[in-house]
């Protein structure tokens, strides 16, 4: 069970009173004519991210007052959403991400062999059209993109930044030396030969779908039915068309080259049959993992889709863009607050699931894992209790945090972990019946 001490540690590490007050002095977040309790206000921004009411700024002010802050007129409170506040929330988000990056990871089975698998993707938030010049969308409207990196090892966001929605995803992912030893899972929006070369150069493993306009040249077929002799360098599509390489529901594993001959990339091309046809992946993962396992690895990419759904449906990332003003600082502050709330929920879930995971190859999970969406919903419901717990000390604080932990754990239990295990549940052996553990070639997401 998640303990009060663990909940308190996560909350106070990400949202510490003394550090918030120090940052406020450094960044110029000053107390206004009426006394602003800056630590309480910053925490209210994060806790209000999950509240189901209307406008986000109004939610923040309501949560602030309900948590013990002095009442404030809405017009006066809105003036607090300035550049200094946006910088404060950005710094708090950096604290949250630093904590996530330092977490112990859970990478059993086919997830091993790297320091962590990282998933890259983005989501678009429609915003007030008065910000069209700063954040143009793909049409005649304003929109902002949130580019995210999600750790598979802890299930938490470990990096993000904003850009105009009109800009292509690919330009917002750079593979450099900091990626060394990690793995990358990404969709076709990030498919680039230069990026794959960067992965090779910096010892980054990757699994990515084969892009339609890439023309692999087959050097050798290691797995699959080959009915005719072919010369190395033969066109992949031609081999299938003339039935040299026969696809009859069997997995395929080949060594191919893509790109210009003078600087061609030599990679694995694997094909996994599915009800909708073959799914083709390019990877540089060693052949100790077969094609089905490579396909399963790629299916883990769906975790970031669930994470972004959490950001929008629970932490109201989209509502941050509904602020009807040209105040870009308010937009940034609210987006950061939503993402910090998401990181906190993910950290609490990861720590619980890590502490209660099965030990040993023959053991099965007996304690239900927590589901991040359910825990996040309860965290929003408990926003006032959490805010008040920050103000307590000694035994009173211990009892308050313990009570919060009990409620979060009870409400956050995943009711479907036995009947509908996720891909990660299966990989980690969290299903209760060994027979249900088999990983088959399901349709990749």
pLDDT at 62: 85
3-state SS, one letter per residue, for 128-155: CHHHCCCCECCCCCEEEEEEEEEECCCC
> Lowest-pLDDT range, 61-70, 299-308, 382-391?
61-70
pLDDT at 64: 87
pLDDT, mean of residues 333-354: 95
Helices 83-101 and 4-14 sit at what angle, rounded to 10 degrees? 130
pLDDT of residue 438: 44
Rounded-to-integer distance, Cα 220 and Cα 284, Å: 15
Q: What distance in Å separates the CA atoms of residue 129 and residue 141, rounded to the nearest whole number?
A: 6
Length of the chain: 445
**Which pLDDT value is given to residue 52?**
63
pLDDT band of residue 196 (cuts 50, 70, 90) is very high
Question: Hey, is 48 helix, strand or coil?
Answer: helix
Region for residue 253 given its phi and psi (left: phi exceeds 0; alpha: psi -120 to 50; beta: otherwise): beta
Which has the higher per-residue pLDDT, 319 or 172? 172
Assess whether pLDDT exceeds 90 at residue 433. no
Strands of 234-235's sheet in order across: 157-164, 143-151, 117-126, 183-186, 205-209, 277-283, 265-274, 252-258, 217-223, 234-235
Question: Average pLDDT over the chain, rounded to whole?
Answer: 89
Q: What is the mean pLDDT of residues 378-398?
A: 92
pLDDT in tens, 56-84: 788 888 888 888 888 888 888 888 888 99
pLDDT of residue 224 exceeding 50, the answer is yes
| Residue 432 confidence (pLDDT) | 57
pTM: 0.92
- For residues 156 and 149, is the Cβ–Cβ distance under 8 A? no
254-263, 321-330, 369-378, 394-403: lowest mean pLDDT where? 321-330
Write down the H helix ranges in 50-164.
Answer: 56-66, 74-78, 83-101
Strands 157-164 and 143-151: antiparallel
144: number of Cβ within 10 Å: 24
Say what the pLDDT of residue 435 is. Answer: 44
Find the radius of gyration of the CA atoms of the chain.
24
| pLDDT more than 90, % of the chain | 68
Angle at 80 between CA 76 and CA 82, to 5 degrees: 135
Domain boundaries, the chain: 4-102+325-428
pLDDT exceeds cutoff 50 at 440: no
How far out from the chain centre does Cα 15 lie? 20
List the beta bridge partners of residue 234: 218
Q: Residue 71's pLDDT is what?
A: 86
Mean pLDDT in residue range 167-185:
96
């Amino acid at each position: 069970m998640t303990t009060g001490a663990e909940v308190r540690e996560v909350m106070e590490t990400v949202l510490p009173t003394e550090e918030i007050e120090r940052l406020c002095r450094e960044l110029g977040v000053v107390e206004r004519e009426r006394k602003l309790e800056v630590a309480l206000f910053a925490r209210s921004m994060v806790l209000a991210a999950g509240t189901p009411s209307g406008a986000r700024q109004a939610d923040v002010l309501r949560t602030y007052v309900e948590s013990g802050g002095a009442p404030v007129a809405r017009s006066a409170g809105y003036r607090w959403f300035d550049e200094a506040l946006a910088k404060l929330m950005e710094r708090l988000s950096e604290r949250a991400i630093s904590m996530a990056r330092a977490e112990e990871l859970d990478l059993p089975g086919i997830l091993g062999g790297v320091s962590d698998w990282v998933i890259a993707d983005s989501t678009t938030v429609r915003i007030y059209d008065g910000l069209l010049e700063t954040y143009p969308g793909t049409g005649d409207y304003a929109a902002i993109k949130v580019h995210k990196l999600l750790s598979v090892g802890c299930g938490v966001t470990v990096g993000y930044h904003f850009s105009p929605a009109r800009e292509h995803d690919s330009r917002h992912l750079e593979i450099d030396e900091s990626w060394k030893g990690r793995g990358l899972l990404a969709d076709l929006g990030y498919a680039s030969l230069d990026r794959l070369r960067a992965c090779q150069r910096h010892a980054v493993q990757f699994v990515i779908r084969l892009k339609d306009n890439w023309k692999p040249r087959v050097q050798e077929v290691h797995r699959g039915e080959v009915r005719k002799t072919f010369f190395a360098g033969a066109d992949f599509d031609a081999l299938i068309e003339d039935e040299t390489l026969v696809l009859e529901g069997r997995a395929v594993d080949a060594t191919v080259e893509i790109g210009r001959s003078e600087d061609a990339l030599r990679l694995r091309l694997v094909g996994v049959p599915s009800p909708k046809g073959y799914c083709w992946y390019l990877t540089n993962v060693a052949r100790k993992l077969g094609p089905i396992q490579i396909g399963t690895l790629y299916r883990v990419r769906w975790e970031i889709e669930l994470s972004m759904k959490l950001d929008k449906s629970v932490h109201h990332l989209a509502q941050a863009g509904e602020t009807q003003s040209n105040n870009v600082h308010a937009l940034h502050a609210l987006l950061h607050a939503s993402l910090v709330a998401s990181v906190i929920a993910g950290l609490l879930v990861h720590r619980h699931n890590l502490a209660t995971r099965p030990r040993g190859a023959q053991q099965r999970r007996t304690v239900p894992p927590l589901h991040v969406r359910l825990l996040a919903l309860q965290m929003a419901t408990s926003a006032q209790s959490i805010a008040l717990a920050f103000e307590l000390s000694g035994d009173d604080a211990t009892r308050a945090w313990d009570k919060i932990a009990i409620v979060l754990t009870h409400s956050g239990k995943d009711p479907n972990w036995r009947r509908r295990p996720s891909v990660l549940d299966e990989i980690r052996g969290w299903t209760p019946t060994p027979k249900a553990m088999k990983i088959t070639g399901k349709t990749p997401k």
